[in-house]
Amino acid sequence: MIDERRVCEVWADDRSVGTGLLVSERLLLTAWHVARAGAATVRFPALHATQRCRAEVVWSRDDLDVALLRLAEPVRAARLTPVRWGRFVTGRSGIPAETLGFPDAHVAGPDGMRDWAHVAGELQALDRRKSGRIDLAVRSWPERWERRSLWRGVSGAPLVSGGLVCGVVVEDPHAYHSRRLTAVRVEAFFDDPVFAAELAHPILEPAELAPLQQHTPARTSPANLLRADAEVMPFHGREDVLERLCGWRDDEDVQRSVRVLTGSGGQGKTRLAREFARRTAREGWAVLDLREEVVAFESVRDVRERLLIVVDYPEKRRDQLAALVEALPGIRSVRLLMTARTGGDWLTQLTTHCREFRELLPDDVDDAVERLQPLPLDPDLYGRALDAYRSRLQALRPEVDWTAAARRAGTPTLDVSRYGNALTLQMEALGRLLSAADGAPVSTVDNTSMSTVDPAAVVLNHEARYWSRHAATVADLGTRLPGPVLQRVVTVATLCTAREDRAESPLPILRRLPDLRDQPAATMTAVAQWLNDLYGEPGWACAPMRPDPLHESLVARELDATPGLLDGVLPVLTERQSIELLVVLARSAAVSTTVTGALTGLLRRFPTRLARAALVAAGHLDDTARERLLAVLAAAGITQSAGIRLWQQRLSDAVSGLGDLLRPRGRRRDTPLSQAATGRHTGPSLSMVSGSGAAAGSGTSPVRLISDAVTMAVARAARTPFGQLLQQHPDLGRRVAAGVAAVATIPVLLALPGSGSPPVDAAAGPSVAGQKSNGAPMPGSSVPGATRPGEYPANRPGPGDPVGSDPAGAAPGGSAAPAGPGAPPDPGTGAGSSGPAATEPNDGKFDVEVDATALSTAQITIGGATGLVDSRVVHKVRMAPGSYKLSSGSAWHDKKFTVTAAGTVDYDAGVSYFSGRGTPRLTVTGLAITVDARSMSGPTFGVFNVRSNMATGAPQVLRVLPATYALGFHSTWTKESFTVTEAGTVDYPAGATYLGGRGGTTLTVHGVAVTVDATKLTAPTFSVWGVLGAANKNTPVSLRLLPADYRIAAGSTWSTAFFTVTPAGGVTRDAAAAPYLSVGGNTVSITTATLPA
């Protein structure tokens, strides 16, 4: 998208005409042949329709046909975002691009006025690369007139793709008859020292990755000036860390690798990562600062340049990181740099459960973590910070004498205990400067009246004034909502962020605040707009105030004033929002007794709703905040349900990861990890487990607790059984025993399936044999909490929960698929086993390798030989001669393969998805199909026992075995199915009109068209479970749905009323819903003002 306010007409003194782009307040970029006379007159039609300005050439490259002109007067406009520059880093074709100019083809009227021409088209990334140019194939073009191009006047226009300026239009190539426009690539002149100096050394971004790039609009509130991406303070220090990062980046022996920067909030992690990214971009690398909500990475896979990916807050993005590393390109070097407060549980879990991520790490995970220590306190640093903020504020508010304010601000007494944190010193400088400008008494030179005041509190006071000033400009909110209400709104928005999707809307949350409960819809819309103006980020409907230490101070302040603030909003939070809430509260509680008390009370009042979220949140926290959260859980009386579960989770991670730690990996695939390396991996995890076990003490038998944890490990991870590893590496048991001797684990560890040891005593814990490896109940067993659509147990969304609340169980929108109805029992050795225990060579069995890593499904079963095992690992299985079936999850495949009497594999000649005949290795390649659910309502869908949490916004390519599969969405698996045939095509029942593509390799999910009419409701909004959240009730909504039951919410309260979409494409409703719902054709109408809760 081009901001037309930056585009200008150019008339040179030699009568040349063209187009230019404003790249700073005083500089514009155009074609050299337009401005070759050295001076020109320019006009910005979108800013000043009649005003003209003189400009002179300050830099030019006639060999490239580009020039920079300096304007006689600066050009300023409100909300004018900085220009971003781009280059193409893939070999893709058909890349969308556009330009905006004033060609002869649009000359009209007697005065010869040139009108806008917004030209769209496509380009090929590799086109004309050697010459530093690229052609835009336009969608429409003017025919030449008397052999003259009517594109004249568009020269100098910017070529924009993905919001980035990637070139300057310079030519209409004659050979293409005006159907193409040629542009000079930006990278052809970007390194020119004069050009770079004039524009303060900007950086190039990868254009094809622009939709994935984190980019926050520049804002001017005090809090936003403290953000790392505002870069008010010039970067200083950390050169030793940067040198180590550069060495890691430039290691030519490693193709793909990970580094994690850790440190307390405000220590400079994000700013350091940005500086490293800037330096790396100047070395020619493509740099991606990854947005949090992105889930599709096809463009990353196509990158042909060296690639650095920066990820902030990785502890919240485990699923995204797992998807990212699967898509990393294999052509050039890739580096993944992450910044987090700690490298704790989240890193352990990601390392354990994502093989691709683990392979990016060094042998010793600690070698990948760089913890930032506080910088030495430089006596001149405060003065530099004061000057930096003075300079930025002078540009933002020139009417204030900021130089005089800086003189009045004074200098605090610097000491490490108070100013050892880099952000604290900057808050001190900014707070003093703002207070001095407001005329507040701040200081004497040697000491100050502010030295005992928290700098964050001072900045928050000024931020609150900014809220009120800005609220007055948005639908007059300043008069409707006083300052204390605005502070409550910002606090709740910071604690309960909302993504830009149907499942999460800030309005139902804000409606729970007593101050906003009775406000009209227009006011609520204005509040949401006001919040977005303050702190909005791409992909988020409601983002937190940053930096984090400042919003943690805000939370403490508001909870001190309003202790019960969060009670009303909790019932409408999704699980993700509940986790985020607890993370921020726990971090704030680590430094505030007020927040500690509020958090304790919250957990006491909502133990069921928050216990599971607390367990997940604990994995996102550093040691201090985690221990605070565990202490609060203990004080709230729910240690049994969360503290112990956290400890079991850690042990489960440690145990389930040991098998993979000993297999060949990385650059040394021919050798397993050394025993020393294994000890370094497992030692910290087991030590952490032991410490947490003591903290969780509850009187429960240690053997019972360990048994439960081991059950979790085996049932959850489905990896190589620990007992088999103990046989292969006898000294491993001794090292494990040393790490967890305090809780007497070794008797339980030795009783794992496959170890050859006696089974665990029933009194010590539940049996593993009754569970599948994905944690789902075995067929025929009862499912705790199973419900009809009108019933919601504690771990399911209850009344008031919005669309998007993830139930505790696995679902299509979650991370694992549950066992479906009629799933066959696991054949073979039982849950978690990858094969029978090893036997003597004369037992008549053979070692056969099974490689199913190409499949999209996470688990497979070899009937008669294994239980469910991880398909992402090559398994060596002891197998007797005979025939064996394969299944992916519970989808059994009819074709068998055979282990011959010679120990090799064989299969039918027509099977194209097996290879390895005549060898002891069976490779299962599967068949490639595409599932296109773009027509469907709702953000995600899943294919049962293959992959869940797939975005509906793009076709999904899967590799599967020929079998029958079910579709699902959000937390619901449908009973309807489709089949992948032996020929690799899709098929489905004749009556399944909601599907398309029979006989081809693409299954198109059209869904059933359903309209929901809620106009008779008194509530302003309504929702449909799993697919639609907080829709305006005054407008009937058209949806595309799978056959299933759908529940309706009036406002934020879920009702017992539901309707059913049938496989035949119709709609029905339950007889009990007759008083509230009517169905006419495929329209569901709510017939009453309210719905039963």
CB 562 within 8 A of CB 489: no
How far apart (Å, rounded) are the C-alpha atoms in residues 183 and 797?
A: 54
Contact 848, 921 (CB under 8 A): yes
Q: Is the pLDDT reported for residue 667 higher than 80?
A: no
Q: Which of 48-62, 673-687, 894-908 has the highest mean pLDDT?
A: 48-62
User: Which contacts of 118-123 are long-range, i.e. CB under 8 A and separated by 24 or more positions?
Assistant: 118/2, 119/154, 119/181, 120/96, 121/96, 121/97, 121/181, 122/93, 122/94, 122/95, 122/96, 122/97, 123/95, 123/97, 123/161
> What pLDDT is stored for residue 975 in this prediction?
66
DSSP string, 44-60: -TTT-SS-EEEEEEEEE
| CA dist 325 → 88, 320, 359, 452, 946 (Å) | 21, 9, 10, 48, 19
C-alpha–C-alpha distance, residues 190 and 226, integer Å: 29
* Residues 277-298: tens digit of each pLDDT: 999 999 999 999 999 878 788 8
Report the interhelical angle of 607-618 vs 593-605 (nearest 10°).
130
Rounded to 5 degrees, φ, ψ at 1067 are -135, 135
Choice among 44-48, 801-805, 915-919, 1025-1029 with the minimum mean pLDDT:
801-805
**What residue type is assigned to position 83 of the chain?**
V
Question: Is 776 domain-assigned?
Answer: no
Peptide bond preceding 547: is omega within 30 degrees of 0, i.e. cis? yes
The residues with which 849 forms a beta bridge, in sequence order, are 876, 921
pLDDT of residue 783: 28
pLDDT at 418: 67
Classify the phi-psi angles of 944: left when phi > 0, otherwise alpha if psi is within -120 to 50, otherwise beta: beta
- CB count, 10 Å around CB of 1083? 15
What is each CA distance from 35 to 17, 30, 61, 67, 965, in whole angstroms?
A: 8, 8, 11, 7, 64
Quote the CA–CA distance of 152 and 154 in Å, as a whole number.
6
User: Do 647 and 632 lie in a common domain?
Assistant: no
At 687-734, the pLDDT tens digits run 334 444 433 334 444 444 444 444 444 444 333 344 444 444 444 444
Is 784 part of a structural domain of the chain?
Answer: no
Under the banding of pLDDT at 50, 70 and 90, the label for residue 842 is low
Say whether both 131 and 32 belong to one domain.
yes
Pairing relation of β-strands 1008-1013 and 95-101? unpaired
Predicted pLDDT of residue 639: 55
Q: Do 498 and 601 belong to one domain?
A: yes
Per-residue pLDDT of 464-511, as tens digits, reads 999 999 999 887 887 889 999 999 999 999 999 988 876 788 888 999
Q: What is the DSSP string of 301-339?
A: HTB-S-EEEEEESGGG-HHHHHHHHHT--SSS-EEEEEE
Strands 204-206 vs 85-87: parallel, antiparallel or unpaired: parallel
| Predicted local confidence at residue 894, as pLDDT | 63
**Are 961 and 843 found together in one domain?**
yes
- Domain-located, residue 795: no
Q: Which is nearest to 1049 in space by CA: 676, 430, 318, 502?
A: 502
Residues 648 and 633 both lie in one domain:
no
Contact 1017/1057 with Cβ under 8 angstroms? no
pLDDT one-digit tens code per residue, 860-895: 888 778 776 777 788 888 888 988 888 775 456 667
975 occurs within a structural domain: yes
Same domain, 586 and 729: no
- Same structural domain, 166 and 93: yes
Which of 870, 1011, 858, 1065 lies closest to 949, judged by CA?
858
| pLDDT surpassing 90 at residue 740 | no
Task: Look at residue 650 in the predicted model and tell me its pLDDT.
Answer: 52
Q: Please report whether residue 460 resides in a domain.
A: no
SS (H, E, C) 107-134: EECCCCEECCEEEEEEECCCCCCCCCEE
Burial 456-469 (b: 16+ CB within 10 A, else e): bebbbbbbbebbee
| Residue 331 exposure: Cα atoms within 13 Å on the Cβ side | 11
Note the pLDDT of residue 540: 85
Residue 74 and residue 395 in contact, taking contact as beta carbons nearer than 8 Å? no
Q: What percent of the chain has pLDDT over 70?
A: 77
Q: Taking residues 380-388, report their average pLDDT.
A: 91
pLDDT of residue 987: 93
Q: Are residues 523 and 616 in the same domain?
A: yes
Q: Identify which has the larger pLDDT, 500 or 817.
A: 500
Residue 33 has pLDDT above 90, yes or no: yes
Strand 158-161 with 164-171, pairing: antiparallel
Q: Tell me what pLDDT residue 971 has.
A: 52
Half-sphere exposure of 641 (CA within 13 A, CB side): 18
Number of other residues whose CB lies within 10 A of the CB of residue 74: 11
Instruction: Output phi, psi for 385, to 5 deg.
Output: -65, -45
Residue 367 is part of a domain; what is its CATH number? 3.40.50.300
Q: What is the pLDDT of residue 760?
A: 30
pLDDT value of position 93 = 92
- pLDDT of 169 reads 97
> What range defines the domain where residue 435 resides?
381-453
Are 67 and 166 part of one and the same domain? yes
377-386, 567-576, 1024-1033: the lowest-pLDDT one: 1024-1033
- Which residue type sits at 13? D
Give per-residue pLDDT as tens, 583-622. 999 988 877 888 988 898 888 888 878 888 888 888 788 7
Tell me, what's the pLDDT at 724? 45
End of a domain among 348, 371, 394? 371
Task: Give 1061-1067 contacts, CB < 8 A, sequence gap 24+.
Answer: 1061/1008, 1061/1010, 1062/1008, 1063/976, 1063/989, 1063/991, 1063/992, 1063/994, 1064/991, 1064/993, 1065/993, 1065/994, 1065/1008, 1066/1008, 1067/1008, 1067/1010
Render pLDDT for 62-118 as a digit per residue (tens, 0 to 9).
999 999 999 999 988 777 888 999 999 999 999 999 999 999 998 876 666 889 999
φ, ψ (nearest 5 deg) of residue 1062: -95, 155
Give domain status of residue 785, yes or no: no
In a domain, 824, yes or no: yes
Are the C-beta atoms of 1023 and 1058 separated by less than 8 Å? Answer: no
Residue 255's pLDDT band (cuts 50, 70, 90): very high
Q: Which range scores top for mean pLDDT: 98-102, 760-764, 894-898?
A: 98-102
Q: How far is it, in rounded angstroms, from Cα 924 to Cα 903?
A: 18
- Least confident segment among 171-180, 655-664, 688-697, 980-989: 688-697
Average pLDDT over residues 557-572: 89
* Same domain (yes/no): 830, 962: yes
Residue whose C-alpha is closest to residue 370's, from 240, 241, 236: 241
Q: 1047 pLDDT exceeds 90?
A: no
Q: Are strands 1021-1024 and 1053-1061 parallel, antiparallel or unpaired?
A: unpaired
Are 595 and 589 in contact, with CB atoms under 8 Å apart?
yes
696 belongs to a structural domain: yes
pLDDT interval class at 1 (50, 70, 90) = confident
Which SS3 state, helix, strand or coil, does residue 101 take? strand
- Cα–Cα distance, 630 to 615 (Å, whole number): 9
Residue 782 CB neighbours (<10 A): 7
Domain containing 129 — which CATH number? 2.40.10.120
Higher pLDDT, 441 or 983: 983
608/656 same-domain check: no
Quick one: DSSP state of residue 826?
P
pLDDT of residue 1051: 80
pLDDT category of residue 219 using cuts at 50, 70 and 90: confident
- Residue 944 makes CB contacts below 8 A (sequence gap 6+) with 812, 817, 820, 889, 890, 891, 965, 966, 967, 968, 973
- Predicted pLDDT at 972: 64
Comparison of pLDDT for 645 and 849, the residue scoring more: 849
Percent of the chain at pLDDT > 90 equals 36
pLDDT tens for each residue of 943-992: 877 887 788 888 899 998 888 888 887 656 676 788 998 888 999 988 88
Q: What domain count does the chain have?
A: 7
Domain C-terminal end among 1005, 1037, 1055: 1005
Domain boundary among the residues 200, 223, 249 is at 200
Checking if the pLDDT of 659 tops 60, the result is no
Whether residues 416 and 297 share a domain: the answer is: no
d(CA 468, CA 464) in angstroms, rounded, equals 7
Query: What's the pLDDT at 784?
Result: 30
Q: Is the pLDDT of residue 676 over 70?
A: no
Q: Is the pLDDT of residue 899 over 80?
A: yes
Q: From CA 169, how far away is CA 133, in angstroms rounded?
A: 9
pLDDT of residue 378: 80
Mean pLDDT of 141-166: 90
Q: What average pLDDT is seen over the chain?
A: 78
